[in-house]
Chain A
Amino acid sequence: MPLKSSGHFFVDCKTGVIWATRKPIEEVLVARRDGSSFLIQEQSESKLRSATAKRMARLLLSLVGGDSRELERRFIIAATGENPATKESSPLRSLESDAVQKQGWVLTPKSRRVARAISHITLRHQIFTGKSAPSTHLSDDTRKVEADNPAERSARDRRTTITHTELMIEIVDQQGLTTRIQAKHLLHEHAAASCDDAQHIDQRACELLTGRAIDSSPESTGRG
């Protein structure tokens, strides 16, 4: 039986990732592309200073952001069910282009040290579809286009759109102990919503991600 956790995440290619774990613990990790990362716990907030903790935060950035080159550098990647030893090309590229409904990959660490603790990571990405998003969630540009052209709006109403995606990261250690971390990514039309608009994401985490709150962030060293 895997140990399960769940929560939400928000990803922005330019700034980074917010990973908010809700169950069974409450904890938010903010991993910025500039290398800094923060941990927000129940009543405390800390900047991660240890190199290893930061490296793990960057790994999360790559996992969630689908950075195939970075992941290939660290892992042997195979689609679920494939033998990673015989895998030559990366199926992760499909994550960037294919409109898949459900896809899984097995990441086997190349580093001997990581392999000592982790047997493999399974990454599953599931896309959920539903009705189009309400106009309140549209960007200003889109609203302007639709105001000028009512046909655009009726077309949108008829379309089935992606409501959210779900990412599941399953970490299996060498003893077979499995930790499953699952998080939802709520998307908005054009996937252009700002962090502040994202549901279930704390305002403070957004401030840390966008850099608006870096100056006021605590300097305490976070435990790795």
Chain B
Amino acid sequence: MIRAFFVVVSGLVVLCAFVLPRFQIEADLDAVLPEQNFSESIDSALDEIKSNFQRRITVVLVSRSGDSVLDEQALDGASIRLRNQLSSIPNVSLLPGEEDLLDALVDGLSPYRFQLLSRSEKARLASDTNTELLDQAERRLYRVASPALLPFVEDPFGVHQQTLFDLISENSGSPAKENASDFRVISLMLGDQALRIGEQELLLERIDHALRVATTSADSKTHPVTDPATHVRPEIISYRSGVFFYSVDAAVRSKNEVMTISTISSIAVLCVLFFVFRSASAIALALGSMMFGIVAGVLTSHAVFGQIHVFTIVFGVGLIGVVIDYSLHFLFHSAHVDRRRLRSALTLSALTSIIGYGALFLSSLALLKAVAVFAVAGIAVALLTVVSLGPLLAPIAPRFLSLPMTAMQPLNRKLALVFAGFLLVVAGVLATTLFMTDPFDDRPEIFFKAPPALLQSDRQVASYTGDLEPGRFITFTGTTNKEVYDLYRSTQQMLQAQASLEKSQLVSILDWVPDTEEQRSNYEQQQRLYGELGLIGALFNRLDLTGQDSQLRSDFADASERILEPDTVLTLLGEALPVSWVRTDNNITALAFLRKGEGIDALDAKSWPGNGVNYINLTKRTQAALQAQRESAGWILLMSMVITALLLAVAFRDVKAALLALVPASSCMAALALLSMLGVGINLFHTMACFLVLGFGLDYVIFVRQMTWHAPALDLEEPAQDRRRETMSTPSIDGGSPTLQAIALSFITSQLSFGLLALSSISIVQAFGVTLFIGNSVNLMGAVIVRALAPVPVLKRSKK
């Protein structure tokens, strides 16, 4: 029956495994964060910004030969080459360059030019006399290097052109803009396909190749860019910035490191298993049960949630590492003990793990729920594999290991009690120390150590393009445009007064587009230029262009009722700027970015009234979410311990059996406290590793209790053998205990598989490995103590 069920399950698993490559594997940290209770419009804006931020790559090409003309020629050539190269890469779209954006703005804003006035132009119109304005217009006309965005007859006073320049310069936020001749900025957006883990490395290679071609082809013989006098050739340096680069770097480093560690550990585990069992089928059972478990976990989790997060796989695979115990115990005991008893021990072990890990499903957090589903399905299938396939194997006589812990089996009961008491006291003291201090560290930065070269490149790009705080925004939500603008202005004033923030540190679409009232006021102010009695007539008369002002006057009259909306500007800018103005059925939300500078950190401590104004710090939000995940996992861990303790009491029909749960509990506590004493901040990943420590600990004590304490009384001829309880129940091989041998082997393989991860430089992996290494070591000590605490069996003497 079990085998038939196994055949069906394994058939399904194998079948589904073929479709695995088509699975949606999520790698975004935000996907595992709890939902925030923002409004629909804020959520929508944040989603847009997050997507824009994650998919955006910015490249800056710099040339500083000291000759602006040469620099410009070299940079223009390099820009064209780079754009050509990048445009040929699939899943990459180039954003319009600065010139194209300016074109789009000039074209798009031209009909609204009478509604716009920059601060300086407003002041000029308010303060300058008619004569001064006329003189300036004439001077501008004759100036040899006067830039022209609009034809003279459309903008004779230069008001609109200067307003556009001011808007761009005030809102670009980059001090480097004035040296625009010696650098070029190229931005691109990655398609969703490009963000997939498998695609990233290839894409990185292509982007780097494009950069190499762009920056090194400047010395092409066909079109050399050199100073004919000095033969100086400008050197072009490229800097790149984007979340993508960090993501690929982390993925590559993780892959390489985990691959190295896992290769070493796999070889070591295989060697140990082969040394002990000397049987390929035994090793196949051990590894096969894990593989089936992992595949089942992935498939079930994906089926339940529609996708699977990379964290779910990492945690899930880690947690079901415990299933190797099932095959090891089976292989050690199957030849010597009643199969039904062995099966019940295996089932109890699996059941406690399923309950322990399954409790994670009670969490409100998606990540922990998914891990629970993964682990439960994986453990169940692994157990099914062992109990179905195990009996098919030929009996195996494992080679016993000569290990110190196996020699401890005749440990004195009193000594064991003292040792247990000592360990519990130490664990208690450590636990108290742990909770009296604040040993936790949930900062997102600790999970991610960026290489200095990437950070340096990022800083360089920021210095050219303007440095906005990456994850801090203020949102303004209202039901009308006016309400949103009022909130924006009052917040600007409040921040200037309270947080010593410069007005220019707040960057918003609202700076580009004045509110309706101001647009009308701007229009009215320009009556002086283009109205019935406007200066335009006097200017054109002065230039002998009489009569040519009629079109401009007519354009001005037509524009009287026109109002520029933020949506219009955002449409013009496309993806070049993240969406910062969202309109839903009921609300309008404007989003302001924050420019780096003094006073920004004070915003975190400030209390926000919340009446339509929300301050959002995504880093803090992530930190809070990670803290919530850790706390939730911690409480569930505690609850799992209590539940499994009760289950042990029920299963063994002995209240004292509940105390067995103290072993994994002490192990977890010891691991966390020791790490804390060593200055390591406890985070979500340490807590998740504790679930694995719990799983291993429970396995150890359950098998010790089930296989040694419940030994049937045997008829013994020699009282001298009384103390050899293990050998009474399960005949020894070379004088060792099969249960302790199985536990020792499990300990060795788990330390090789997971404990070695402690050597990793990736903090997440290291946290998992080091917790397991310490915790499982304490588990082993606990198992030996439990083994020594077994009651002396009542012996029946045979009648002679």
Write the residues of chain A forming the contact surface with B, with a CB cutoff of 8 angstroms. 1, 3, 5, 13-14, 19, 21, 24-25, 27, 29, 31-35, 37, 41, 48-62, 67, 69-70, 73, 111-114, 116-118, 169, 173-175, 177, 179, 181, 223-224
Query: How close is A204's CB to chain B, nearest CB, in angstroms?
Result: 18
- Contact (Cβ within 8 A) B153 A31: no
- Contact (Cβ within 8 A) B151 A3: no
Partner of B152, one of A59, A116, A173: A173
**Within B146-165, which residues are at the interface with A (CB < 8 Å)?**
146-153, 158, 161-162, 165
Pick 14 A–B contacts, CB within 8 A, sort by A: A3-B142, A5-B142, A19-B144, A35-B181, A50-B165, A55-B180, A58-B69, A60-B144, A73-B73, A116-B106, A117-B150, A174-B151, A181-B144, A224-B165
Partner of B148, one of A37, A112, A118: A118
Please name 15 further chain A to chain B contacts, defined as beta carbons within 8 Å, in addition to the given A29-B144, A37-B145, A113-B103, sorted by A numbering.
A33-B68, A35-B182, A53-B145, A55-B147, A57-B145, A59-B145, A60-B145, A67-B69, A69-B73, A113-B102, A114-B148, A117-B149, A118-B148, A169-B144, A177-B548
Q: Which residues of B contact A35 (CB under 8 A)?
A: 68, 71, 179, 181-182
Smallest Cβ-Cβ distance to A56: which chain B residue: B145
B169 within 8 A of A: yes
Q: Give Cα distance in the complex from A114 to B150, angstroms.
A: 9
B76 within 8 A of A: yes
The listed residue with most B CB atoms (<10 A of its CB), out of A14, A25, A52, A55, is A52
B143 within 8 A of A: yes
B99 within 8 A of A: yes
Query: How close is B639's CB to chain A, nearest CB, in angstroms?
Result: 63
B138 within 8 A of A: yes
Query: How close is B154's CB to chain A, nearest CB, in angstroms?
Result: 8
Q: Give Cα distance in the complex from A14 to B68, angstroms.
A: 12
User: How large, as a class, is the contact surface on chain B?
Assistant: 35 or more
Q: Which residues of A contact B151 (CB under 8 A)?
A: 116-117, 173-175, 177
Query: How close is A198's CB to chain B, nearest CB, in angstroms?
Result: 17
Q: Which residues of B contact A175 (CB under 8 A)?
A: 151-153, 548
Q: Which residues of B contact A51 (CB under 8 A)?
A: 177-178, 180-181
Q: Give Cα distance in the complex from A56 to B147, angstroms.
A: 6
Q: Give Cα distance in the complex from A58 to B180, angstroms.
A: 12
Q: Which residues of B contact A62 (CB under 8 A)?
A: 69
- Contact (Cβ within 8 A) A179 B147: no
Partner of A3, one of B106, B141, B177, B178: B141
Q: Which residues of B contact A31 (CB under 8 A)?
A: 145
Instruction: Report if A1-B544 is in contact (Cβ < 8 Å); known contacts: A21-B144, A56-B145, A179-B142.
Output: yes
Q: Give Cα distance in the complex from A48 to B144, angstroms.
A: 13
Q: Which residues of A contact B162 (CB under 8 A)?
A: 223-224
Q: Which residues of A contact B99 (CB under 8 A)?
A: 111, 113
Instruction: Report if A53-B153 is in contact (Cβ < 8 Å); known contacts: A3-B141, A177-B545.
Output: no
- Contact (Cβ within 8 A) A33 B69: yes
- Contact (Cβ within 8 A) A181 B142: yes
B198 within 8 A of A: no
- Contact (Cβ within 8 A) A61 B69: yes
- Contact (Cβ within 8 A) A24 B142: yes
Write the residues of chain B forming the contact surface with A, with a CB cutoff of 8 angstroms. 66-69, 71-73, 76, 99, 102-103, 106-107, 138-139, 141-153, 158, 161-162, 165, 169, 177-182, 229, 543-545, 548
Query: How close is A189's CB to chain B, nearest CB, in angstroms?
Result: 21
- Contact (Cβ within 8 A) B106 A25: no
- Contact (Cβ within 8 A) B145 A34: no
Q: Which residues of B contact A25 (CB under 8 A)?
A: 138-139, 142-143
Q: Give Cα distance in the complex from A85 to B143, angstroms.
A: 29
Q: Which residues of A contact B181 (CB under 8 A)?
A: 35, 51, 54-55, 58
Partner of B229, one of A13, A32, A59, A117: A13
- Contact (Cβ within 8 A) A34 B66: yes
Q: Give Cα distance in the complex from A201 to B283, angstroms.
A: 93
Smallest Cβ-Cβ distance to A1: which chain B residue: B544
Q: Give Cα distance in the complex from A94 to B118, angstroms.
A: 45
Instruction: Report if A54-B180 is in contact (Cβ < 8 Å); known contacts: A24-B138, A60-B145.
Output: yes
Q: Which residues of B contact A117 (CB under 8 A)?
A: 148-151
Q: Give Cα distance in the complex from A50 to B143, angstroms.
A: 15
Smallest Cβ-Cβ distance to A224: which chain B residue: B147
Q: Give Cα distance in the complex from A117 to B545, angstroms.
A: 18
Q: Which residues of A contact B73 (CB under 8 A)?
A: 69-70, 73
Q: Which residues of B contact A27 (CB under 8 A)?
A: 139, 142-143
Q: Which residues of B contact A50 (CB under 8 A)?
A: 147, 165, 169, 178
Q: Which residues of A contact B158 (CB under 8 A)?
A: 223-224
Instruction: Report if A177-B153 is in contact (Cβ < 8 Å); known contacts: A13-B229, A27-B139, A69-B73.
Output: yes
Query: How close is B502's CB to chain A, nearest CB, in angstroms?
Result: 18
Partner of A112, one of B103, B152, B180: B103
Partner of A179, one of B106, B141, B153, B548: B141
Q: Give Cα distance in the complex from A51 to B174, angstroms.
A: 12
- Contact (Cβ within 8 A) B543 A113: no
Q: Which residues of B contact A19 (CB under 8 A)?
A: 144-145
Instruction: Report if A116-B543 is in contact (Cβ < 8 Å); known contacts: A37-B145, A57-B145.
Output: no
Q: Which residues of B contact A112 (CB under 8 A)?
A: 103
Q: Give Cα distance in the complex from A34 to B181, angstroms.
A: 10
Smallest Cβ-Cβ distance to B67: which chain A residue: A33
Query: How close is B733's CB to chain A, nearest CB, in angstroms?
Result: 84
Q: Which residues of B contact A169 (CB under 8 A)?
A: 144
Q: Give Cα distance in the complex from A85 to B181, angstroms.
A: 29
Instruction: Report if A34-B146 is in contact (Cβ < 8 Å); known contacts: A24-B138, A58-B181.
Output: no
Q: Which residues of A contact B545 (CB under 8 A)?
A: 177
Q: Give Cα distance in the complex from A14 to B99, angstroms.
A: 29
Q: Give Cα distance in the complex from A141 to B76, angstroms.
A: 41
Smallest Cβ-Cβ distance to A20: which chain B residue: B144
Q: Which residues of B contact A179 (CB under 8 A)?
A: 141-142, 152
Q: Which residues of A contact B152 (CB under 8 A)?
A: 173, 175, 177, 179
3 A-B pairs with the lowest CB-CB distances in the bound complex, closest first:
A35-B68, A51-B180, A117-B148
Query: How close is A218's CB to chain B, nearest CB, in angstroms?
Result: 15
Q: Give Cα distance in the complex from A181 to B146, angstroms.
A: 12
Q: Give Cα distance in the complex from A124 to B141, angstroms.
A: 20
The listed residue with most A CB atoms (<10 A of its CB), out of B67, B68, B148, is B68
Q: Which residues of B contact A14 (CB under 8 A)?
A: 229
Query: How close is B433's CB to chain A, nearest CB, in angstroms?
Result: 60
- Contact (Cβ within 8 A) A52 B142: no
Query: How close is A185's CB to chain B, nearest CB, in angstroms?
Result: 14
Q: Give Cα distance in the complex from A169 to B76, angstroms.
A: 25
Q: Give Cα distance in the complex from A35 to B182, angstroms.
A: 9
Partner of B67, one of A34, A59, A118, A177: A34
Q: Which residues of A contact B179 (CB under 8 A)?
A: 35
Q: Give Cα distance in the complex from A146 to B765, angstroms.
A: 85
Query: How close is A224's CB to chain B, nearest CB, in angstroms?
Result: 5
Q: Which residues of A contact B161 (CB under 8 A)?
A: 224
Q: Give Cα distance in the complex from A62 to B144, angstroms.
A: 13
Partner of B178, one of A49, A57, A58: A49
Partner of B68, one of A21, A34, A181, A224: A34
- Contact (Cβ within 8 A) B69 A70: yes
Smallest Cβ-Cβ distance to B143: which chain A residue: A27
Partner of B142, one of A21, A55, A57: A21
Q: Which residues of A contact B149 (CB under 8 A)?
A: 52, 113, 116-117
- Contact (Cβ within 8 A) B147 A52: yes
Q: Give Cα distance in the complex from A178 to B107, angstroms.
A: 23
Q: Which residues of A contact B76 (CB under 8 A)?
A: 73
Q: Give Cα distance in the complex from A111 to B141, angstroms.
A: 21
Q: Which residues of A contact B165 (CB under 8 A)?
A: 50, 52, 224
The listed residue with most B CB atoms (<10 A of its CB), out of A31, A37, A60, A113, is A113
Instruction: Report if A29-B143 is in contact (Cβ < 8 Å); known contacts: A35-B181, A113-B99, A117-B150.
Output: yes
Smallest Cβ-Cβ distance to A114: which chain B residue: B148
Q: Which residues of A contact B142 (CB under 8 A)?
A: 3, 5, 21, 24-25, 27, 179, 181
Q: Give Cα distance in the complex from A31 to B180, angstroms.
A: 15
Instruction: Report if A173-B144 is in contact (Cβ < 8 Å); known contacts: A14-B229, A70-B69, A223-B162.
Output: no
